[in-house]
């Protein structure tokens, strides 16, 4: 499938910068939430930080329901 790009010299670099910036912000936000949920000691001791932080996050919020 082929398409034409209107003003490619401007749109392609702009889309690359916007997408890389959005992914970087998302990555920083996820890492920030790991440190908020687990604190530094929990992050250093855990082998699976994402799994432990998800379990910690949901166990905290389920207790409030």
Whole-angstrom CA distances from 9 to 15, 18, 22, 26 are 11, 15, 21, 27
| 8-65 pLDDT per residue, tens | 889 889 999 999 999 999 999 988 888 887 777 777 787 787 787 778 777 755 555 4
Cα(64)–Cα(62) distance, integer angstroms = 5
| 36-46 pLDDT per residue, tens | 877 777 777 87
Residue 60, pLDDT score: 58
5 found inside a domain: no
**Domain coverage including residue 51:** 11-64
4 found inside a domain: no
**Structural domain tally of the chain?**
1
pLDDT band at residue 2, thresholds of 50, 70 and 90? Answer: low
56 found inside a domain: yes
Q: Who has greater pLDDT, 3 or 17? A: 17
pTM of the prediction?
0.64
2 found inside a domain: no
3 found inside a domain: no
DSSP-assigned letter for residue 47: S
- Give residue for tokens 């910068």: 17
38 found inside a domain: yes
């Amino acid at each position: 499938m082929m398409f034409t790009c209107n003003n490619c010299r401007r749109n392609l670099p702009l889309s690359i910068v916007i997408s890389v910036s959005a992914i970087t912000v998302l990555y920083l936000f996820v890492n920030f939430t790991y440190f908020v949920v687990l604190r530094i000691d929990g992050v250093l001791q855990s082998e699976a930080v994402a799994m432990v932080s998800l379990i910690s996050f949901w166990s905290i919020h389920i207790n409030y329901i």
